[in-house]
Amino acid sequence: MRYLAQDPTLADFGRDPWWLVLGKIVFAFAFGLLATLLGVWFERRVVGYMQVRPGPNQVGPFGLLQTLADGLKMAFKEDILPKAADKVVYFFAPTISVICAVTALSVVPFGPMVSIAGHHTPLQVTDVPVAVLLLLACSSMGVYGIVLGGWASGSTYPLLGGLRSSAQMISYEVAMGLSIVAVFMTAGTMSTSGIVAAQGDGTQLTVFGTEIPAPGWYAILLLPSFIIFFIATVGETNRAPFDLPEAESELVAGFMTEYSSLKFALFMLSEYVAMVTMSAVTTTLFLGGWRAPWPITLWEGANSGWWPMLWFFGKVIALVFVFVWLRGTLPRLRYDQFMRFGWKVLLPINLVWILVLSGLRSIEDWDSRSKLIAVGIPAGVLLIATLFWPNRRPQPKPTTQEQVDNRPYGSFPLPPMDLQVPPSPRITRVVAEREPANIVAGSDSREV
């Protein structure tokens, strides 16, 4: 496979001066924080548009400062500490979730090799041969903040929310890990910069006698893995329709019920930072990272210089929109449906797909993109059809009379069909109790 000259390698890391490394760290942190602030505003505006209402539009231009105003409001609220709480764990639990979400951005490549103050450096904080394992570790460790926050609150509902989150993490972390296995099996490396480089346009396909660049994004070549990974990502970040740990209708806000002020704000921040981080990770592993999509690739300078950062941010925003779209469209699943979907649907399909990839690897010239396209796209279409195919025929809606006739015994009485209001049982009983007394009183008066 032909790697382009601007693709960074592992040898390009660890050579930068300290001030440049510090600048990269500050940039990654600022990206996570700023993307979170804009992400909250973006979600409220998009959901408002879906629900035919304006959304935030008063504080700042287009309501852009609404999230900042909400953060200041939370900071000045009273910080309440429950008596039964474990003070140390209660204090540090929100910070664990935020730190784990931000740490994952350290191995995400934002762009290719660029020149900064005379230093030729990659637009990435660092990279290691097992960077994918670091991403999995950060995703797994983030649940500790939720579990510890629910346990340290000393209350029932936060504890239930924390336990739900731990079970949710275990269920969907397996499917996510198997999806990533397909990625580094195909790329031949677990380095994030190497995975992005492996998705470059290095081969040609012959279509009707004409050679065209082969699609390199693993979202196309490994379509089943991409679908399963993104579903597992929604489950890992506790986003709707998988927001069971903070189900307001069941758990009164779940694991963060006893939190207030800045600690509550940190939990909210960690959720949105995790959403942006997982969108960036999905872009890196499956959507070509900072590489420009077609037909922008027809321009020779599309994947050089600082332009790739624009393509990277555009892909991240598109994935964040999908997160918001799901929240504004799908209802929350029941907990048994959620667990069954993870263990009995995603996991078996992922295992079968890994076996198919292993079979392709054993064949000569297994990494040919034409072969992966011929297998991956039909398998992905079949997976989508399997997940969304209706499993039962729609039943005809019963008429009003049928609903009245089929109501169970002892249910709440329905008003009569002729709109005649029956007499009140209480008034009838009171009249019946007073009637003998009236008769006696009347007879006495007649005798007098």
Structural tokens at position 377: 């796209």
DSSP, collapsed to helix, strand or coil, labels residue 332 as coil
Residues 6+ apart with CB under 8 A from 227: 380, 383, 384, 387
How do the pLDDT tens digits run along the chain, 448 residues long? 334 446 788 888 888 899 999 999 999 999 988 888 888 899 999 999 998 888 888 888 888 888 889 888 888 888 888 888 888 888 888 888 888 888 989 999 998 888 888 888 999 999 989 999 888 888 888 888 888 888 898 888 888 878 888 888 888 888 898 899 889 888 888 999 999 988 876 555 554 455 555 567 888 888 889 999 999 999 888 887 888 777 666 666 778 888 888 888 888 888 888 899 999 999 999 998 898 887 787 787 888 888 999 999 999 999 999 999 998 888 888 888 888 888 888 888 888 888 888 877 777 655 566 666 667 777 777 777 777 666 666 677 777 777 777 766 555 555 555 555 666 666 667 667 766 555 444 444 444 3
Question: Residue 123: which of 304, 314, 345 has the closest Cα?
Answer: 304
Cβ(57)–Cβ(44) below 8 Å: no
DSSP structure class, residue 121? E
| Backbone phi and psi for residue 205, each to the nearest 5 degrees, phi listed first | -110, 140
Distance, C-alpha 209 to centroid of its chain: 43
Note whether 195 and 142 are within 8 A (CB): no
**What is the three-class DSSP state of 113?**
strand
Q: SS3 helix, strand, coil % of the chain, rounded to 5?
A: 65, 5, 30
Closest CA to 326 of 37, 33, 32, 43: 43
- Quick one: CA dihedral 109, 110, 111, 115, positive or negative? negative
- Burial code (b: 16+ CB inside 10 Å, e: under 16) for 340-358 equals ebbeebbbebbeebbeebe
pTM beyond cutoff 0.75: yes
Rounded alpha-carbon distances, angstroms, from residue 142 to 253, 270, 316: 18, 9, 20
